[in-house]
Amino acid sequence: MANLIETLSIAATGMQAQAERLRFVSENVANEDTPGYRRKLTTFEEVVEAGRRTGKVQTGPVELDPSALTRIHDPGHPLADQNGYYDGSNVNLVVEIADAREAQRSYEANLRVFDQARQMTQNLLELLKR
């Protein structure tokens, strides 16, 4: 029974980490047109409890993408410099869509593990009833 609970816990942390990653992706997409906005990135870290690897994951610290901001020419923009340029964001919608799909698929894979463990437990309980 402990292995079942551990399996469910590992799958749940994977789902939670991917959901948080998807939240950052949606923030990036929402701020694509915000001047000076830097894309948010996160990494995954393994959870270690009492010096033992657990298989669980969590999101690491949020980092800002250091890549260059897009220079936009619009002399009428309030943030434009004397040459008519201002810094846009460094969000690339194609990259964000790819990240969103990857996060969604990873979330679904963890959900399938969760569901499979639940079905196995249900089948075991039905066998024990007989």
Q: What is the mean pLDDT of each run of 10 residues along the chain (130 residues)?
A: 80 94 96 96 91 90 95 93 95 96 95 90 87
The pLDDT, as a whole number, for residue 2 is 62
Supply the pTM of this predicted model. 0.83
3-state secondary structure the chain: CHHHHHHHHHHHHHHHHHHHHHHHHHHHHHCCCCCCCCCEECCEEEEEECCEEEEEEEECCCEECCCCCCEEECCCCCCCCCCCEEECCCCCHHHHHHHHHHHHHHHHHHHHHHHHHHHHHHHHHHHHHC
The pLDDT, as a whole number, for residue 1 is 54
